[in-house]
């Protein structure tokens, strides 16, 4: 069945439950929360608390290492930058709109076995198997 915009019901929004307005409303006094206890309080619950059981985030082992100040690396194909004249630096690539924003280093992937880059950044250039380093 296909839903059409002109066939949507006009009553799309659910009315908000008004609580704490006397016993006749059915949700007065305690507002449907019951008496006392952690769940009746405002801002209730402790995230990850499992009633004394060892919580999931403590049961599962930590894995690996997260480097928070990791340098941002962008990847550029060598075939895309063949036409750029002069020395190829991060500023040159940014001027030719290969990327924008903060970039700490650029890795150039050589996808052409017959072309060896002459004027690139030097450090992060990969070569094809046939060329070698």
Global pTM reads: 0.44
Q: What is the pLDDT of residues 114-125, one digit of tens each?
A: 666 566 655 566
Give the CB-side neighbour count of residue 78, counting CA atoms within 13 A: 20
DSSP codes, 73-111:
EEEEEGGGSTT--S---HHHHHHTTS--S--SEEEEE--
For the segment 78-99, the average pLDDT, to the nearest whole number, is 83
Over residues 1-38, the pLDDT tens digits come to 788 888 887 777 788 899 999 999 999 999 999 999 88
Structure confidence at residue 118 (pLDDT) = 61
């Amino acid at each position: 069945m296909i839903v059409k915009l002109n066939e949507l019901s006009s009553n799309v929004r659910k009315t908000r439950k008004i609580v704490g307005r006397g016993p006749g409303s059915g949700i007065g006094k305690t507002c449907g929360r019951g008496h006392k206890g952690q769940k009746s309080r405002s801002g209730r619950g402790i995230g990850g608390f499992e009633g004394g059981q060892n919580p999931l985030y403590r049961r599962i082992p930590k894995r690996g290492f997260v480097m928070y100040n990791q340098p941002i690396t962008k990847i550029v194909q060598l075939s895309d930058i063949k036409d750029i004249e002069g020395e190829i630096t991060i500023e040159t690539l940014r001027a030719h709109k290969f990327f924008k924003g903060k970039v700490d280093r650029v890795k150039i992937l050589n996808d052409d076995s017959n072309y060896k880059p002459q004027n690139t950044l030097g450090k992060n250039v990969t070569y094809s198997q046939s060329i070698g380093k």
